[in-house]
Chain A
Amino acid sequence: MPRDRSPRLTSATALRLAAIGSCAGLFSGLFGVGGGTVIVPLLVLWLGYGPREASGTSLAAIVFIAGFAAAIQGVYGNVNVLDAILIGIPAVGGVLIGIRLQQRLPTRAISLLFAGVLIASAIELLAQ
């Protein structure tokens, strides 16, 4: 599917994007995640995105969302900048590997893998 063949932005679509942004922003600020866990499924369910387009568009929105949220958390004095660098920089290498894998994986496996990661994270946190 070529990149720039998306239809004109209708008000219904804009409203859905605003709702996705608001929900993702709330979850991002509340839970310290980018909001992709909200954005990806909503783009698929509400706007008919394929999984790869949803992933790519979600990542781009997250740059803004996480940036806003980190700045506001910084005002509260909760951000540990050194730890963020120690985790964030290796993660950049990881994300490049992950994207190469994504282009070769079946979409169903990606969704199931995501679900597995989420459940594992949840169990870890509840066991703490």
Chain B
Amino acid sequence: MIAMVAIGLCAGVVAGVLGVGGGVLFVPGLAIVVGLSQHQAEATSLLAIVPVAAAGTLRQDAHGNVRREHALLIGLLSIVGVAVGVALANTLSGTVLRVGFALLMMFIAIQLVRNASSAGRETGPRHDGASRGN
């Protein structure tokens, strides 16, 4: 139980810093530490993400970082993709899901490193942070 609280806290910090729902850590945490099957870990992660993302949204909105119209459109237009994704997950084996998950993470990590090395030097972090009046 303490491990779960620790996973939750860590995943939340990552979610807040990076703008993700925490699933990146919930899924491996639930699968490896708690011992859920890959399917259960994924499904449970999704439910845990909802309050995290909601709290994060409220705070980010206070900082002026939420474009509401865009967020609403992305969210509502996701429903077909979501239904297909869940149905697909439930037809695949846990091993296939795990390997796919790992590959997805690596692909996105490489993209982010590439973006950071090209765009990162444009913004002065101190200036940017101060101008937001946080």
Contacts and interface: CB of A to CB of B under 8 A. Distances in A.
Interface of A: 1-3, 6, 9, 13-14, 17-18, 20-41, 43-45, 47, 49-70, 72-74, 76, 78-81, 83-119, 121-126, 128
B83 A72 contact: yes
Residue of A2, A87, A93 most packed against chain B (CB within 10 A): A87
Interface string B1-41: 10011111111111111111111111111111010100111
A62 to B, nearest CB: 4
A91 B88 contact: no
Q: Interface residues of B toward A: which range?
A: 35 or more
A70 to B, nearest CB: 4
**B interface, by DSSP: helix, strand, loop or mixed?**
helix
Contacts of A90: 4-6, 8-9, 12
Contacts of B89: 29-32
A124 B120 contact: no
Given A17-B74, A30-B97, A107-B120, A81 B47 contact: yes
B77 to A, nearest CB: 4
Nearest to B113: A115
A34 B53 contact: yes
Nearest to B34: A83
Interface string B28-70: 1111101010011111111111111111110111011111111
B118 to A, nearest CB: 10
Contact of A29 (B14, B26, B84): B84
Contact of B12 (A56, A67, A95): A95
Contacts of B51: 88-89, 91-92
A69 B75 CA distance: 11
Contacts of A103: 63, 129, 132, 134
A87 B70 contact: no
Contacts of A29: 81-89
Contacts of B112: 41, 111-112, 114-115, 118
A96 B63 CA distance: 12
